[in-house]
Chain A
Amino acid sequence: MPVNYLKSGSVSWHPKSRRQRLIAWGLWFSGLALFCICWRVISENTIWEFLYDADEQALSLLGRMVPPDWQVTGSLLAPLWDTINIATIGTLLGLLIAFPLAFLAARNTSPHPVLRGFALLVIVSSRSINALIWAMLLVTIVGPGVFAGMLAIALRSIGFLGKLLYEAIEEVEVGPVEAVRSTGASPMQVLQVAIWPQIKPAFAGISVYRWDINIRESTTLGLVGAGGIGLAMNAAINNLAWAQVATVFVLIFLTVLLSEWVSANVRRHVS
Protein backbone atom coordinates (compact mmCIF):
# COMPACT_ATOMS: atom_id res chain seq x y z
CA MET A 1 0.00 0.00 0.00
CA PRO A 2 1.92 3.05 -1.25
CA VAL A 3 2.12 6.03 1.06
CA ASN A 4 3.31 9.43 -0.18
CA TYR A 5 4.78 11.98 2.22
CA LEU A 6 3.84 15.32 0.74
CA LYS A 7 5.96 18.47 1.14
CA SER A 8 3.28 20.06 3.27
CA GLY A 9 3.91 17.35 5.83
CA SER A 10 0.62 15.53 5.32
CA VAL A 11 0.44 11.93 4.14
CA SER A 12 -1.52 10.69 1.14
CA TRP A 13 -2.60 7.10 0.91
CA HIS A 14 -3.66 5.05 -2.12
CA PRO A 15 -4.73 1.43 -2.37
CA LYS A 16 -2.64 1.05 -5.56
CA SER A 17 0.87 2.05 -6.58
CA ARG A 18 1.49 4.85 -9.06
CA ARG A 19 2.30 2.39 -11.83
CA GLN A 20 -0.86 0.34 -11.23
CA ARG A 21 -2.93 3.50 -11.31
CA LEU A 22 -1.33 4.61 -14.58
CA ILE A 23 -2.05 1.22 -16.19
CA ALA A 24 -5.65 1.26 -14.96
CA TRP A 25 -6.08 4.81 -16.24
CA GLY A 26 -4.65 3.82 -19.64
CA LEU A 27 -7.00 0.85 -19.89
CA TRP A 28 -10.05 2.94 -19.00
CA PHE A 29 -8.97 5.62 -21.47
CA SER A 30 -8.46 3.22 -24.37
CA GLY A 31 -11.76 1.51 -23.55
CA LEU A 32 -13.54 4.84 -23.67
CA ALA A 33 -11.82 5.76 -26.93
CA LEU A 34 -12.85 2.43 -28.46
CA PHE A 35 -16.41 3.03 -27.27
CA CYS A 36 -16.47 6.43 -28.99
CA ILE A 37 -15.10 5.00 -32.24
CA CYS A 38 -17.64 2.17 -32.21
CA TRP A 39 -20.45 4.57 -31.43
CA ARG A 40 -19.38 6.65 -34.44
CA VAL A 41 -19.63 3.62 -36.74
CA ILE A 42 -23.12 2.87 -35.44
CA SER A 43 -24.19 6.49 -35.64
CA GLU A 44 -23.09 6.65 -39.29
CA ASN A 45 -25.18 3.59 -40.13
CA THR A 46 -28.26 4.82 -38.32
CA ILE A 47 -31.00 6.85 -39.98
CA TRP A 48 -31.58 9.35 -37.19
CA GLU A 49 -34.72 10.73 -38.86
CA PHE A 50 -36.48 7.52 -37.78
CA LEU A 51 -35.89 8.50 -34.19
CA TYR A 52 -37.70 11.82 -34.22
CA ASP A 53 -41.03 10.12 -33.64
CA ALA A 54 -39.71 7.14 -31.65
CA ASP A 55 -41.57 8.16 -28.50
CA GLU A 56 -44.85 8.43 -30.42
CA GLN A 57 -44.18 5.09 -32.11
CA ALA A 58 -43.43 3.45 -28.78
CA LEU A 59 -46.54 4.88 -27.15
CA SER A 60 -48.83 3.93 -30.03
CA LEU A 61 -47.33 0.44 -30.09
CA LEU A 62 -47.97 0.11 -26.37
CA GLY A 63 -51.47 1.50 -26.84
CA ARG A 64 -52.25 -1.14 -29.45
CA MET A 65 -50.83 -3.93 -27.25
CA VAL A 66 -52.88 -3.05 -24.17
CA PRO A 67 -55.25 -4.67 -23.42
CA PRO A 68 -54.11 -8.04 -24.86
CA ASP A 69 -56.63 -9.89 -27.00
CA TRP A 70 -57.59 -12.74 -24.65
CA GLN A 71 -59.92 -14.36 -27.17
CA VAL A 72 -57.04 -15.89 -29.09
CA THR A 73 -55.67 -17.61 -25.97
CA GLY A 74 -57.49 -20.86 -26.76
CA SER A 75 -56.03 -21.09 -30.24
CA LEU A 76 -52.55 -20.42 -28.85
CA LEU A 77 -52.50 -23.41 -26.50
CA ALA A 78 -51.70 -25.95 -29.24
CA PRO A 79 -48.68 -23.97 -30.52
CA LEU A 80 -47.58 -23.52 -26.90
CA TRP A 81 -47.69 -27.29 -26.39
CA ASP A 82 -45.60 -27.64 -29.56
CA THR A 83 -43.08 -25.16 -28.18
CA ILE A 84 -42.71 -27.12 -24.95
CA ASN A 85 -42.30 -30.32 -26.95
CA ILE A 86 -39.65 -28.73 -29.16
CA ALA A 87 -37.69 -27.75 -26.07
CA THR A 88 -38.10 -31.09 -24.27
CA ILE A 89 -37.49 -33.48 -27.16
CA GLY A 90 -34.75 -31.19 -28.46
CA THR A 91 -33.01 -31.32 -25.09
CA LEU A 92 -33.33 -35.12 -24.98
CA LEU A 93 -31.89 -35.49 -28.49
CA GLY A 94 -29.09 -33.09 -27.56
CA LEU A 95 -28.32 -35.14 -24.42
CA LEU A 96 -28.20 -38.33 -26.47
CA ILE A 97 -25.36 -36.92 -28.57
CA ALA A 98 -23.71 -34.73 -25.94
CA PHE A 99 -23.31 -37.55 -23.40
CA PRO A 100 -20.86 -39.72 -25.36
CA LEU A 101 -19.25 -36.58 -26.79
CA ALA A 102 -18.49 -35.30 -23.29
CA PHE A 103 -16.56 -38.49 -22.48
CA LEU A 104 -14.55 -38.07 -25.66
CA ALA A 105 -13.84 -34.44 -24.78
CA ALA A 106 -12.89 -34.88 -21.12
CA ARG A 107 -9.13 -35.06 -20.61
CA ASN A 108 -9.35 -37.99 -18.18
CA THR A 109 -11.68 -40.24 -20.20
CA SER A 110 -10.80 -39.39 -23.78
CA PRO A 111 -9.43 -42.44 -25.63
CA HIS A 112 -7.21 -40.41 -27.97
CA PRO A 113 -6.07 -36.75 -28.28
CA VAL A 114 -7.25 -36.60 -31.89
CA LEU A 115 -10.74 -37.72 -30.87
CA ARG A 116 -10.64 -35.18 -28.07
CA GLY A 117 -9.80 -32.40 -30.52
CA PHE A 118 -12.63 -33.47 -32.77
CA ALA A 119 -15.12 -33.55 -29.89
CA LEU A 120 -14.01 -30.09 -28.73
CA LEU A 121 -14.42 -28.75 -32.28
CA VAL A 122 -17.98 -30.10 -32.45
CA ILE A 123 -18.76 -28.58 -29.06
CA VAL A 124 -17.38 -25.16 -30.01
CA SER A 125 -19.16 -25.04 -33.37
CA SER A 126 -22.45 -26.03 -31.82
CA ARG A 127 -22.09 -23.42 -29.09
CA SER A 128 -21.13 -20.59 -31.40
CA ILE A 129 -24.16 -20.84 -33.64
CA ASN A 130 -27.52 -19.68 -32.35
CA ALA A 131 -30.55 -21.99 -32.43
CA LEU A 132 -32.28 -19.57 -34.78
CA ILE A 133 -29.51 -19.94 -37.38
CA TRP A 134 -29.65 -23.73 -37.03
CA ALA A 135 -33.41 -23.47 -37.48
CA MET A 136 -33.08 -21.35 -40.63
CA LEU A 137 -30.78 -23.97 -42.12
CA LEU A 138 -32.88 -26.92 -41.03
CA VAL A 139 -36.07 -25.38 -42.38
CA THR A 140 -34.45 -25.27 -45.80
CA ILE A 141 -33.34 -28.89 -45.36
CA VAL A 142 -36.22 -30.77 -43.67
CA GLY A 143 -38.98 -28.28 -44.41
CA PRO A 144 -40.85 -26.02 -42.00
CA GLY A 145 -42.41 -27.45 -38.85
CA VAL A 146 -41.85 -28.79 -35.36
CA PHE A 147 -39.27 -31.37 -36.52
CA ALA A 148 -36.87 -28.66 -37.77
CA GLY A 149 -37.28 -26.87 -34.45
CA MET A 150 -36.45 -29.97 -32.41
CA LEU A 151 -33.34 -30.65 -34.47
CA ALA A 152 -32.26 -27.01 -34.19
CA ILE A 153 -32.63 -27.07 -30.40
CA ALA A 154 -30.78 -30.40 -30.24
CA LEU A 155 -27.89 -29.14 -32.36
CA ARG A 156 -27.58 -25.99 -30.29
CA SER A 157 -27.77 -27.89 -26.99
CA ILE A 158 -24.98 -30.35 -27.85
CA GLY A 159 -22.27 -27.75 -27.34
CA PHE A 160 -23.64 -26.36 -24.11
CA LEU A 161 -24.41 -29.76 -22.54
CA GLY A 162 -21.18 -31.25 -23.85
CA LYS A 163 -19.04 -28.45 -22.44
CA LEU A 164 -20.57 -28.45 -18.95
CA LEU A 165 -20.64 -32.27 -18.83
CA TYR A 166 -17.01 -32.71 -19.82
CA GLU A 167 -16.00 -30.12 -17.24
CA ALA A 168 -17.92 -32.13 -14.65
CA ILE A 169 -16.22 -35.34 -15.80
CA GLU A 170 -12.79 -33.72 -15.55
CA GLU A 171 -13.51 -32.84 -11.91
CA VAL A 172 -14.28 -36.43 -10.94
CA GLU A 173 -12.43 -37.77 -7.87
CA VAL A 174 -9.73 -40.21 -8.96
CA GLY A 175 -9.95 -42.34 -5.81
CA PRO A 176 -13.10 -44.31 -6.66
CA VAL A 177 -12.01 -44.60 -10.28
CA GLU A 178 -8.69 -46.20 -9.31
CA ALA A 179 -10.36 -48.38 -6.70
CA VAL A 180 -12.84 -49.79 -9.19
CA ARG A 181 -10.16 -50.17 -11.86
CA SER A 182 -7.95 -52.12 -9.43
CA THR A 183 -10.71 -54.73 -9.04
CA GLY A 184 -10.19 -55.55 -12.71
CA ALA A 185 -13.21 -53.71 -14.03
CA SER A 186 -13.45 -53.00 -17.75
CA PRO A 187 -13.42 -49.35 -18.92
CA MET A 188 -17.22 -49.46 -19.37
CA GLN A 189 -17.66 -50.78 -15.84
CA VAL A 190 -15.39 -48.03 -14.51
CA LEU A 191 -17.59 -45.51 -16.31
CA GLN A 192 -20.76 -47.04 -14.94
CA VAL A 193 -19.72 -47.64 -11.36
CA ALA A 194 -17.04 -45.05 -10.60
CA ILE A 195 -17.63 -42.07 -12.87
CA TRP A 196 -21.38 -42.00 -13.56
CA PRO A 197 -22.50 -41.80 -9.89
CA GLN A 198 -20.14 -38.86 -9.40
CA ILE A 199 -21.43 -36.84 -12.33
CA LYS A 200 -25.10 -37.80 -11.91
CA PRO A 201 -26.12 -34.68 -9.92
CA ALA A 202 -24.28 -32.40 -12.35
CA PHE A 203 -25.89 -34.27 -15.24
CA ALA A 204 -29.40 -33.71 -13.88
CA GLY A 205 -28.72 -30.06 -13.04
CA ILE A 206 -27.15 -29.27 -16.42
CA SER A 207 -29.95 -30.99 -18.36
CA VAL A 208 -32.69 -29.16 -16.56
CA TYR A 209 -30.82 -25.87 -16.87
CA ARG A 210 -30.49 -26.34 -20.62
CA TRP A 211 -34.16 -27.35 -20.85
CA ASP A 212 -35.06 -24.06 -19.19
CA ILE A 213 -32.94 -22.13 -21.73
CA ASN A 214 -34.42 -24.18 -24.56
CA ILE A 215 -37.96 -23.26 -23.54
CA ARG A 216 -36.98 -19.60 -24.01
CA GLU A 217 -35.21 -20.24 -27.30
CA SER A 218 -37.96 -22.40 -28.75
CA THR A 219 -40.47 -19.55 -28.34
CA THR A 220 -38.77 -17.69 -31.17
CA LEU A 221 -38.00 -20.54 -33.58
CA GLY A 222 -41.36 -20.00 -35.29
CA LEU A 223 -40.06 -16.71 -36.66
CA VAL A 224 -38.12 -18.67 -39.25
CA GLY A 225 -40.83 -21.31 -39.69
CA ALA A 226 -39.66 -23.96 -37.23
CA GLY A 227 -42.96 -24.39 -35.41
CA GLY A 228 -44.31 -23.52 -32.00
CA ILE A 229 -45.77 -20.36 -30.60
CA GLY A 230 -43.30 -18.27 -32.59
CA LEU A 231 -45.30 -19.07 -35.72
CA ALA A 232 -48.41 -17.55 -34.16
CA MET A 233 -46.38 -14.57 -32.99
CA ASN A 234 -44.90 -14.05 -36.44
CA ALA A 235 -48.35 -14.21 -38.06
CA ALA A 236 -49.74 -11.71 -35.54
CA ILE A 237 -46.80 -9.34 -36.10
CA ASN A 238 -47.17 -9.55 -39.87
CA ASN A 239 -50.88 -8.72 -39.51
CA LEU A 240 -49.92 -5.85 -37.18
CA ALA A 241 -52.34 -7.43 -34.68
CA TRP A 242 -50.39 -6.14 -31.69
CA ALA A 243 -53.11 -7.07 -29.18
CA GLN A 244 -52.61 -10.71 -30.19
CA VAL A 245 -48.85 -10.28 -30.01
CA ALA A 246 -49.32 -9.07 -26.45
CA THR A 247 -51.28 -12.24 -25.61
CA VAL A 248 -48.42 -14.32 -27.00
CA PHE A 249 -45.97 -12.33 -24.88
CA VAL A 250 -48.00 -12.97 -21.73
CA LEU A 251 -48.15 -16.72 -22.49
CA ILE A 252 -44.41 -16.85 -23.16
CA PHE A 253 -43.74 -14.95 -19.95
CA LEU A 254 -45.83 -17.38 -17.88
CA THR A 255 -44.28 -20.46 -19.51
CA VAL A 256 -40.77 -19.18 -18.95
CA LEU A 257 -41.52 -18.31 -15.32
CA LEU A 258 -42.85 -21.84 -14.81
CA SER A 259 -39.87 -23.51 -16.47
CA GLU A 260 -37.48 -21.35 -14.46
CA TRP A 261 -39.26 -22.36 -11.27
CA VAL A 262 -39.06 -26.06 -12.19
CA SER A 263 -35.41 -25.79 -13.16
CA ALA A 264 -34.44 -23.85 -10.03
CA ASN A 265 -36.20 -26.43 -7.82
CA VAL A 266 -34.61 -29.42 -9.50
CA ARG A 267 -31.17 -27.83 -9.36
CA ARG A 268 -31.54 -26.97 -5.69
CA HIS A 269 -32.68 -30.53 -5.07
CA VAL A 270 -29.70 -32.22 -6.74
CA SER A 271 -26.94 -29.91 -5.61
Chain B
Amino acid sequence: MTDISGKDVRLNAARQGVWRPLPVIGQRWKRLTLNAAVLVYLVLATSSIEVNWARVSQGMDRGLDFVASFTRPDFMSRLDEIGLGLLESLTMTFVATVIGTVLAIPVGLGAAANMAPTPVYLFCRAVIAISRTFQEIIIAILFVTMFGFGPLAGVMTLAFATLGFTAKLLAEDIEDVRKDALEAVKATGAGWLQWVNYAVQPQVMPRLIGLSMYRLDINFRESAVIGIVGAGGIGATLNTSINRYDYDTSAAILILIIIIVLLSEYLSGHIRRWTA
Protein backbone atom coordinates (compact mmCIF):
# COMPACT_ATOMS: atom_id res chain seq x y z
CA MET B 1 0.00 0.00 0.00
CA THR B 2 1.87 3.06 -1.17
CA ASP B 3 1.04 6.47 0.10
CA ILE B 4 -0.08 8.07 -3.17
CA SER B 5 -1.24 11.37 -1.74
CA GLY B 6 2.13 11.79 -0.03
CA LYS B 7 3.84 11.17 -3.38
CA ASP B 8 1.73 13.87 -5.01
CA VAL B 9 2.59 16.31 -2.28
CA ARG B 10 6.26 15.53 -2.80
CA LEU B 11 6.00 16.01 -6.57
CA ASN B 12 4.15 19.31 -6.22
CA ALA B 13 6.69 20.58 -3.75
CA ALA B 14 9.48 19.49 -6.07
CA ARG B 15 7.92 21.44 -8.96
CA GLN B 16 8.04 24.52 -6.77
CA GLY B 17 11.75 23.90 -6.10
CA VAL B 18 11.45 22.34 -2.65
CA TRP B 19 13.01 18.90 -2.55
CA ARG B 20 13.06 16.57 0.39
CA PRO B 21 14.65 13.10 0.51
CA LEU B 22 12.31 10.11 0.68
CA PRO B 23 11.44 9.04 4.22
CA VAL B 24 13.00 5.76 5.39
CA ILE B 25 9.64 4.31 6.37
CA GLY B 26 7.17 4.62 3.52
CA GLN B 27 3.85 4.54 5.32
CA ARG B 28 2.87 7.65 7.18
CA TRP B 29 1.05 5.90 10.05
CA LYS B 30 3.98 3.59 10.71
CA ARG B 31 6.26 6.58 10.83
CA LEU B 32 4.01 8.40 13.26
CA THR B 33 3.56 5.34 15.52
CA LEU B 34 7.30 4.81 15.65
CA ASN B 35 7.93 8.45 16.49
CA ALA B 36 5.24 8.36 19.17
CA ALA B 37 6.69 5.15 20.65
CA VAL B 38 10.15 6.71 20.81
CA LEU B 39 8.72 9.81 22.46
CA VAL B 40 6.79 7.78 25.04
CA TYR B 41 9.88 5.75 25.83
CA LEU B 42 12.00 8.87 26.26
CA VAL B 43 9.45 10.38 28.65
CA LEU B 44 9.20 7.14 30.66
CA ALA B 45 12.95 6.64 30.74
CA THR B 46 13.84 10.15 31.75
CA SER B 47 11.12 10.27 34.40
CA SER B 48 13.11 7.78 36.48
CA ILE B 49 16.06 10.17 36.63
CA GLU B 50 16.29 11.93 39.93
CA VAL B 51 18.65 14.81 39.76
CA ASN B 52 19.41 16.62 42.96
CA TRP B 53 20.39 19.96 41.44
CA ALA B 54 21.63 21.33 44.78
CA ARG B 55 23.98 18.36 44.97
CA VAL B 56 25.04 18.88 41.36
CA SER B 57 25.85 22.56 41.87
CA GLN B 58 27.84 21.59 44.91
CA GLY B 59 29.62 18.87 42.95
CA MET B 60 30.26 21.20 40.02
CA ASP B 61 33.17 22.79 41.91
CA ARG B 62 34.63 19.35 42.32
CA GLY B 63 34.04 18.64 38.64
CA LEU B 64 35.81 21.83 37.60
CA ASP B 65 38.57 20.98 40.06
CA PHE B 66 38.92 17.60 38.37
CA VAL B 67 39.10 19.12 34.90
CA ALA B 68 41.62 21.67 36.13
CA SER B 69 43.75 18.93 37.64
CA PHE B 70 44.59 17.75 34.13
CA THR B 71 46.61 20.93 33.72
CA ARG B 72 48.64 20.11 36.83
CA PRO B 73 48.88 16.32 37.09
CA ASP B 74 50.84 15.18 40.12
CA PHE B 75 53.11 12.30 39.18
CA MET B 76 55.54 12.72 42.05
CA SER B 77 53.85 12.51 45.44
CA ARG B 78 52.53 8.98 44.87
CA LEU B 79 55.25 7.89 42.47
CA ASP B 80 55.91 4.56 44.19
CA GLU B 81 52.26 3.49 44.22
CA ILE B 82 51.74 4.59 40.63
CA GLY B 83 54.90 2.80 39.49
CA LEU B 84 54.01 -0.43 41.25
CA GLY B 85 50.41 -0.27 40.08
CA LEU B 86 51.41 0.28 36.47
CA LEU B 87 53.99 -2.51 36.59
CA GLU B 88 51.38 -4.85 38.03
CA SER B 89 48.80 -3.79 35.43
CA LEU B 90 51.23 -4.29 32.56
CA THR B 91 52.40 -7.71 33.73
CA MET B 92 48.82 -8.81 34.43
CA THR B 93 47.80 -7.65 30.96
CA PHE B 94 50.56 -9.57 29.20
CA VAL B 95 50.25 -12.81 31.19
CA ALA B 96 46.46 -12.80 30.93
CA THR B 97 46.48 -12.14 27.19
CA VAL B 98 48.91 -15.01 26.59
CA ILE B 99 46.99 -17.48 28.77
CA GLY B 100 43.62 -16.37 27.40
CA THR B 101 44.70 -16.58 23.77
CA VAL B 102 46.27 -20.02 24.23
CA LEU B 103 43.06 -21.27 25.88
CA ALA B 104 40.95 -19.59 23.19
CA ILE B 105 42.47 -21.74 20.42
CA PRO B 106 40.85 -25.06 21.45
CA VAL B 107 37.62 -23.32 22.47
CA GLY B 108 37.53 -21.41 19.18
CA LEU B 109 38.07 -24.63 17.24
CA GLY B 110 35.29 -26.26 19.24
CA ALA B 111 32.94 -23.34 18.64
CA ALA B 112 33.36 -23.44 14.85
CA ALA B 113 30.41 -25.26 13.32
CA ASN B 114 32.52 -26.76 10.51
CA MET B 115 35.15 -28.23 12.85
CA ALA B 116 33.43 -29.70 15.87
CA PRO B 117 30.63 -32.19 16.55
CA THR B 118 27.42 -30.64 17.89
CA PRO B 119 27.85 -31.41 21.64
CA VAL B 120 31.34 -29.87 21.66
CA TYR B 121 30.05 -26.93 19.62
CA LEU B 122 27.24 -26.23 22.09
CA PHE B 123 29.54 -26.54 25.11
CA CYS B 124 32.13 -24.15 23.65
CA ARG B 125 29.44 -21.66 22.60
CA ALA B 126 28.05 -21.72 26.16
CA VAL B 127 31.51 -20.98 27.61
CA ILE B 128 31.86 -18.08 25.17
CA ALA B 129 28.40 -16.71 25.99
CA ILE B 130 29.07 -16.75 29.73
CA SER B 131 32.48 -15.15 29.35
CA ARG B 132 31.14 -12.41 27.10
CA THR B 133 27.98 -11.63 29.04
CA PHE B 134 29.53 -10.83 32.37
CA GLN B 135 31.68 -7.77 32.68
CA GLU B 136 35.26 -8.28 33.80
CA ILE B 137 34.47 -6.64 37.10
CA ILE B 138 31.76 -9.17 37.99
CA ILE B 139 34.10 -12.05 37.19
CA ALA B 140 36.78 -10.27 39.23
CA ILE B 141 34.50 -10.13 42.28
CA LEU B 142 33.94 -13.89 42.05
CA PHE B 143 37.62 -14.68 41.52
CA VAL B 144 38.70 -12.40 44.37
CA THR B 145 36.29 -14.28 46.63
CA MET B 146 37.74 -17.59 45.50
CA PHE B 147 41.46 -16.83 45.20
CA GLY B 148 41.91 -13.89 47.55
CA PHE B 149 43.09 -10.35 46.83
CA GLY B 150 45.97 -9.73 44.49
CA PRO B 151 47.01 -9.82 40.86
CA LEU B 152 46.41 -13.55 40.43
CA ALA B 153 42.65 -13.02 40.62
CA GLY B 154 43.11 -10.21 38.09
CA VAL B 155 45.09 -12.42 35.72
CA MET B 156 42.41 -15.11 35.87
CA THR B 157 39.65 -12.55 35.28
CA LEU B 158 41.35 -11.04 32.26
CA ALA B 159 42.32 -14.46 30.90
CA PHE B 160 38.70 -15.61 31.16
CA ALA B 161 37.43 -12.49 29.39
CA THR B 162 40.13 -12.85 26.71
CA LEU B 163 39.09 -16.46 26.22
CA GLY B 164 35.50 -15.56 25.36
CA PHE B 165 36.36 -12.62 23.14
CA THR B 166 39.13 -14.30 21.16
CA ALA B 167 37.39 -17.65 20.89
CA LYS B 168 34.22 -16.08 19.45
CA LEU B 169 36.00 -14.08 16.78
CA LEU B 170 38.39 -16.93 16.04
CA ALA B 171 35.47 -19.33 15.62
CA GLU B 172 33.83 -16.93 13.15
CA ASP B 173 37.08 -16.75 11.21
CA ILE B 174 37.47 -20.54 11.22
CA GLU B 175 33.93 -20.90 9.91
CA ASP B 176 34.92 -18.63 7.01
CA VAL B 177 38.05 -20.54 5.93
CA ARG B 178 38.29 -21.57 2.31
CA LYS B 179 36.92 -25.05 1.77
CA ASP B 180 39.31 -26.11 -1.01
CA ALA B 181 42.34 -26.01 1.29
CA LEU B 182 40.46 -28.11 3.83
CA GLU B 183 39.53 -30.68 1.21
CA ALA B 184 42.98 -30.73 -0.38
CA VAL B 185 44.75 -31.44 2.90
CA LYS B 186 42.16 -34.01 3.91
CA ALA B 187 42.57 -35.74 0.54
CA THR B 188 46.25 -36.35 1.31
CA GLY B 189 45.16 -38.56 4.20
CA ALA B 190 46.15 -36.12 6.94
CA GLY B 191 45.06 -36.76 10.52
CA TRP B 192 42.84 -34.29 12.39
CA LEU B 193 45.74 -32.39 13.97
CA GLN B 194 47.63 -32.22 10.67
CA TRP B 195 44.46 -31.11 8.98
CA VAL B 196 44.00 -28.24 11.46
CA ASN B 197 47.67 -27.31 11.39
CA TYR B 198 48.13 -27.25 7.61
CA ALA B 199 44.68 -26.29 6.33
CA VAL B 200 43.17 -24.05 9.00
CA GLN B 201 46.07 -22.55 10.94
CA PRO B 202 47.73 -20.69 8.04
CA GLN B 203 44.38 -19.12 7.12
CA VAL B 204 43.48 -17.85 10.59
CA MET B 205 46.92 -17.11 12.08
CA PRO B 206 47.14 -13.45 10.94
CA ARG B 207 43.68 -12.83 12.35
CA LEU B 208 44.58 -14.54 15.63
CA ILE B 209 47.70 -12.39 16.02
CA GLY B 210 45.66 -9.28 15.26
CA LEU B 211 43.00 -10.27 17.77
CA SER B 212 45.50 -10.94 20.53
CA MET B 213 47.14 -7.55 19.91
CA TYR B 214 43.76 -5.88 20.08
CA ARG B 215 42.91 -7.77 23.22
CA LEU B 216 46.23 -6.74 24.82
CA ASP B 217 44.98 -3.21 24.47
CA ILE B 218 41.55 -3.97 25.97
CA ASN B 219 43.07 -5.95 28.82
CA PHE B 220 45.25 -3.04 29.82
CA ARG B 221 42.23 -0.76 29.97
CA GLU B 222 40.28 -3.33 31.95
CA SER B 223 43.19 -3.88 34.33
CA ALA B 224 42.72 -0.27 35.38
CA VAL B 225 39.21 -1.14 36.55
CA ILE B 226 39.34 -4.54 38.21
CA GLY B 227 41.68 -3.13 40.85
CA ILE B 228 38.61 -1.44 42.33
CA VAL B 229 37.40 -4.78 43.69
CA GLY B 230 40.85 -5.89 44.80
CA ALA B 231 42.15 -7.76 41.76
CA GLY B 232 45.46 -5.89 41.57
CA GLY B 233 46.81 -3.32 39.15
CA ILE B 234 46.63 0.45 38.80
CA GLY B 235 42.87 0.50 39.48
CA ALA B 236 43.35 0.27 43.24
CA THR B 237 45.61 3.33 43.23
CA LEU B 238 43.21 5.23 40.99
CA ASN B 239 40.23 4.31 43.14
CA THR B 240 41.98 5.47 46.31
CA SER B 241 42.98 8.78 44.74
CA ILE B 242 39.44 9.49 43.50
CA ASN B 243 37.91 8.63 46.87
CA ARG B 244 40.36 10.97 48.59
CA TYR B 245 39.49 13.74 46.08
CA ASP B 246 43.21 13.70 45.27
CA TYR B 247 42.40 14.61 41.67
CA ASP B 248 45.94 15.67 40.75
CA THR B 249 47.11 12.09 41.26
CA SER B 250 44.01 10.71 39.50
CA ALA B 251 44.73 12.95 36.53
CA ALA B 252 48.34 11.73 36.44
CA ILE B 253 47.19 8.10 36.43
CA LEU B 254 44.54 8.73 33.76
CA ILE B 255 47.08 10.53 31.56
CA LEU B 256 49.48 7.59 31.92
CA ILE B 257 46.70 5.17 30.98
CA ILE B 258 45.80 7.23 27.91
CA ILE B 259 49.45 7.42 26.81
CA ILE B 260 49.98 3.67 27.23
CA VAL B 261 46.77 2.88 25.34
CA LEU B 262 47.80 5.23 22.53
CA LEU B 263 51.25 3.64 22.33
CA SER B 264 49.87 0.12 22.29
CA GLU B 265 47.29 1.04 19.67
CA TYR B 266 50.02 2.49 17.48
CA LEU B 267 52.24 -0.57 17.98
CA SER B 268 49.46 -3.08 17.43
CA GLY B 269 48.47 -1.28 14.24
CA HIS B 270 52.01 -1.77 12.97
CA ILE B 271 52.19 -5.41 14.04
CA ARG B 272 48.83 -6.17 12.44
CA ARG B 273 49.90 -4.58 9.16
CA TRP B 274 53.15 -6.54 9.35
CA THR B 275 51.53 -9.94 9.93
CA ALA B 276 48.56 -9.53 7.63
Contacts and interface: CB of A to CB of B under 8 A. Distances in A.
Given A46-B152, A140-B59, A130 B224 contact: yes
B135 A220 contact: yes
A197 B49 CA distance: 34
Contacts of B87: 41
B48 A143 contact: no
Contacts of A42: 88, 91-92, 95, 151-152, 155, 232
Interface string B234-276: 0000110010010000100010011001100000000000000
Main secondary structure of the interface of B (DSSP, over half): helix
Interface string B112-144: 000000000000000001100111011001100
A128 B221 contact: yes
Contacts of B242: 133, 136-137, 140
Interface in A205-220: 216-217, 219-220
Contact of A129 (B46, B142, B232, B254): B254
A130 B222 contact: yes
Nearest to A131: B225
Contacts of B224: 130, 133
A143 B51 CA distance: 8
B23 interface: no
The listed residue with most B CB atoms (<10 A of its CB), out of A46, A58, A257, is: A46
A207 B19 CA distance: 28
A45 B51 CA distance: 42
Interface residues of A, number: 55
Interface in A129-145: 129-130, 132-133, 136-137, 140-143, 145
A136 B95 contact: no
Contact of B148 (A51, A142, A216): A51
B56 A143 contact: yes
Contacts of A128: 221, 254, 257-258, 261-262
A37 B91 CA distance: 8
Contact of B45 (A39, A85, A142, A249): A85
A268 to B, nearest CB: 14
Contacts of A220: 135, 137-138
Nearest to A31: B98
A57 interface: yes
Contact of A237 (B56, B60, B141, B225): B141
B191 interface: no
A253 interface: yes
Given A45-B88, A193-B21, A257 B147 contact: no
B50 A257 contact: no
Interface string B93-125: 011001000000000000000000000000000
B156 to A, nearest CB: 10
Contact of B146 (A58, A127, A136, A252): A58
Contacts of A50: 147-150
Main secondary structure of the interface of A (DSSP, over half): helix
A88 B45 contact: yes
Interface in A104-135: 124-125, 127-130, 132-133
Contacts of A38: 90-92, 94-95
A104 to B, nearest CB: 19
A133 B238 contact: yes
A155 to B, nearest CB: 12
B258 A89 contact: no
B91 A41 contact: yes
Interface string A54-93: 1001100100000000000000000001100100110000
A226 B94 CA distance: 31
Given A38-B91, A42-B91, A46-B151, 6 more contacts: A81-B48, A85-B48, A132-B228, A133-B225, A133-B238, A233-B138
Interface of B: 21, 41-42, 45-46, 48-52, 55-56, 59-60, 62-63, 66, 87-88, 90-92, 94-95, 98, 129-130, 133-135, 137-138, 141-142, 145-152, 155, 221-222, 224-225, 228-229, 232, 238-239, 242, 245, 250, 254, 257-258, 261-262
18 contacts: A35-B98, A42-B88, A47-B148, A50-B147, A57-B147, A61-B145, A124-B258, A128-B254, A128-B257, A132-B225, A133-B225, A137-B250, A140-B242, A143-B52, A145-B49, A223-B137, A252-B138, A257-B133
Interface of A: 31, 34-35, 37-39, 41-42, 45-47, 50-51, 54, 57-58, 61, 81-82, 85, 88-89, 124-125, 127-130, 132-133, 136-137, 140-143, 145-147, 150, 193, 197, 216-217, 219-220, 223-224, 233, 237, 249, 252-253, 256-257
